[in-house]
Structures are given as structure tokens and as C-alpha cells.
Amino acid sequence: MKRTLLTLTFAMVLTASAHAQAYFSFFQLRELVPQTQSLQPAFIPSNTFTFALPGANVGASLQADFKLEDLLSKPDGSIDFAIDFDVLLAAAKETNQMNLDVTSHLLHMGLKTKKGGYSLFANVRANVDLQYGRDLMEFLANGNSNRIGETLDFSGTRIQATAYHEIGLGYTRKFLGERLIVGGRVKQVTGLFHGSLREDAQGTITTDALDYSWTIGVQNGTANTAGLDLLINESDYPDNALQDYLVSNENSTLAFDIGAKFKIFDWLKVEGAINDIGTITWKEQPRNYNTEDREVTFSGVQLRGLENSGDGFQDSIESKFYSNETQLTFETTLPTRSYWAATAILGKRNRFTAMAFTRTIFGDTKFSYAGAYNHDVKYFTFGLVGSLRDGSEFNLGANIASDIGPVQLYLAMDNALVLNRPERFSKLDFRFGLNLMFGYKRWKVKSEVVDLDEL
């Protein structure tokens, strides 16, 4: 039970400050930035050879169904803000989600050819998702005081946290001249750490209106983890066990990204991409913390004479529920993402795009939409993106990237306004990095070539 609570706490801490991360602004840097192939494999980099410096390209997204100002309050007479679950309860919907996504691009090498291009890449990624209902917020804010004689149902609570690394190859090919471009990436995904609740886990608390006793019901109460025991109890294992596990382990599988672009007219293109198609079977370091299906009545505990009342309460609860630990393999699905876009090109330097993004988690598919404009000047491209998440919050983003070579810098954010008033927004995301690019003149017409000697 203690390890179960530790696992849940680990996942909750990771998600406490963190839904569907779209990276629309980063997507709009397209062929100019090679790392955008992680969103659309059909992008062909603009340069003959590109190389990303290890660890110099990072992306992160935090998305929630509440804003920071919905979580904090300032008590009367205090100068400090405090976490206030009553404020969060007022903003809560019947079902709420939070998501954190972090990507570190360890390596990217790209080679452009006349008919397409090849790429070699390696990344470390982490995804954390939390889904919770209004009853959980009610319990955190007020305990059971407002629900005497009623049932608090926590059955909709879902947690999933996964960290993994991936290494793979990509290939992009032109067809029908250059009207159709198809790309794909195959990658070996190795799971590192995982923690989740079983999909059909259920829990309820009913408070009796007469004697105020609790009836606690638990069904399918299993928490699955992998790698966490090695991480937390590293001293119980041989030297270098953690390092060896991080480099290579049995939690490996193949995953795929696919994408395509089609030019309808010279000025109009449509495209689509589906990323992270695959599952991870956790064979090494699995731990399953199981609680027996049961419904018990808890009338309180005698605390008089106890030195530590918390231990007495915990022991009383644990004595009514039988739990065990197993080491059975289990399977999880990668958080599959898809992009769909239509782009209108006006002149050589202006591009307008309408985009849609989907991500499926906990069997629920979330949609986000965006409109974008990008403009190319002599040495740079920059753009603006307006996006709408699930028909609710509007975000304004921006991007910029250099195209003079051999050193490229880029930055993309879906919500640039968060830099001014972060408490008023529920989303923060960014991508930035540094690449080395060579042979860019070969693919440009003479009038577009930048003469570095004249800079």
C-alpha cells in the first residue's frame, strides 16, 4: 500500500502543474527546421545536410482544464498566494484533464536528395496525463462535509505517466513530380518509467447521515508501474543497474509515424500526418500493486494515547483492505497524435494555413484548431498562430527561424501571451533549438541565394 501511494503521489506531483499539446506554431516552421519531421514525416528539409547538436533542441507543453488563477488565492491580510481547492472546485467541470509533454531531441541528421530525403534521429520523451472528476475536487476542497448522506464517486480518476527514448530512421519520397510527397518513420521505442491506474478502477465514499460513518468501496484497484522501483530503491540493486536499464531494457517495441502532402493547385496544398502508432509491453521491472475488491464501513479510530495519530488512521484503513504486489507484464498505448492542414501560398513569401490536431487519451479524442500566417524575409521566416483548444480557450502564438546557415536558431510558442500574464492562461508550450545546416544554396534559385560574404 505504501508503494501504491508513492506511485500515485509521483504521478500527481508531475501533473499538478500541467491536455492536448498541438505545437501548431512549431509545425508552421515546416521544411526549414528538420525536427518538424516529428510532427509531419512528409516534410523534406531545405538543406542538403542538417545536423542537430545533441541536447540543443527541446520542447515542452503543459495544458490543463484550469488556469493558474483558478488554483491560487490570497487570504485576507496575507501577501502570499496559497493553493485553494475551493477556487479550483468553482472552475472544475464534470470531467477535467491535465497533460504534460516534454521532448528532448538528442540527435537529428538529415540528408536531402533529388527525390526526397533520409533522416536519423534519437529523442527522449515523457508524457503525463491526469483525468479527474468534480467529486475529487469536492473532496479535496471540503472533505465529505457537503455530501453527508451522499456518495462521492472517484471512478473517473485516471493517471498515466510514461517516459521513454526512441531512435529511428525516416524516409521521404516525391511522386507525380512534386505534387505528392509521402513520408514515414520507423523507430525503436524503449520504455523507461511508467505509472498508471487500471483503466476500470473504481472508488467511492458514502457518508451515513446518522452516524457519519464512511462506506468505502474499491473495485479493480490496481496501480501498474515499471522502472520506478529501480529508480526509488536504487541501493537495493547492483551497481550501474539503473544506468544499464536506461540504456537498454526489454521494454522495447517498434512504432511508426506516417504523413503525406498533396498539391491540388500551385497555390493550394493539403496534408495529414499520424504519429506515435504503437504500444509498449512492459516486461522488465513491472510492479502491480493490487487492492482486493471490497466495500467496508469505517466508523473512526481511537486516537487517544497514540503518539502518531496519522499512523493509527492509516493502519486502521489498511487493515480493512487486503493488498498484494505482483510482477505481471502489461501493455500501454503510445499517445497517438494526428495533424491535418490546408495551406494557401500567396506569392513566394506569404503562407496561410488552417490546421486541426487530435490526440487520443483515456479513450477520449480531443480536438484543437488553428489558423496561421508565415512570412519569409531575406534571412528569416516568422509567423503568427491563433489556436482554439476544444472550443474553449483562444491562444496566440508566434515562431521565428533563421535560414542563412550554417547555424540555425529557432523558437516557436503556441501561447506567447503567457509571458505577460501567465495566471490567465491554461497552456504553456514552446520549442527552441540550434541546428547546423549545409548545402542550402544548392536547392535555391539564384535570386534567393544569400551570399554570406556580403553579410
Task: Kindly tell me the sign of the dihedral angle through the C-alpha atoms of 397, 337, 135, 429.
Answer: negative
Mark the ranges of the chain whose per-residue pLDDT is less than 70. 1-21, 68, 72-82, 87, 300-319, 390-392, 423, 440-455
Q: What is the pLDDT of residue 317?
A: 63
Q: What is the pLDDT of residue 308?
A: 54
Q: Which helix (H) or strand (E) holds 83?
A: strand 82-83
Q: What is the pLDDT of residue 174?
A: 96
Q: What is the pLDDT of residues 207-240, one digit of tens each?
A: 988 888 888 899 999 999 999 999 999 889 998 9
The span from the CA of 394 to the CA of 34, in Å, is: 28
Q: What is the pLDDT of residue 403?
A: 76
Amino acid at 263: K
Q: What order of strands is seen across the sheet that includes strand 214-219?
A: 151-153, 202-207, 214-219, 294-298
Q: What is the pLDDT of residue 455?
A: 45
Q: What is the pLDDT of residue 420?
A: 76
Q: What is the pLDDT of residue 78?
A: 65
Cell of 341: 492542414
Length of the chain equals 455
Give residue 39's region: left, alpha or beta (phi > 0; psi -120 to 50). alpha
Task: Kindly tell me the sign of the dihedral angle through the C-alpha atoms of 424, 129, 232, 1.
Answer: positive
Q: What is the pLDDT of residues 35-87, one digit of tens each?
A: 999 999 999 988 899 998 787 888 888 777 777 677 766 666 666 666 777 76
Q: What is the pLDDT of residue 143?
A: 83
The span from the CA of 37 to the CA of 274, in Å, is: 11
Cell of 249: 531494457
Q: What is the pLDDT of residue 116?
A: 95
Q: What is the pLDDT of residue 378?
A: 78
Burial label, 225 (beta-carbon count in 10 A; 0-12, 13-18, 19+):
buried
Q: What is the pLDDT of residue 8?
A: 35
Q: What is the pLDDT of residue 165?
A: 95
| Gyration radius of the chain over CA positions | 25
Q: What is the pLDDT of residues 415-436, one digit of tens each?
A: 887 777 776 777 778 899 999 9
Cα distances (angstroms) measured from residue 381 to each of 119, 373, 411: 23, 11, 11
What domains, with CATH codes, occur in the chain?
2-454 (2.40.160)
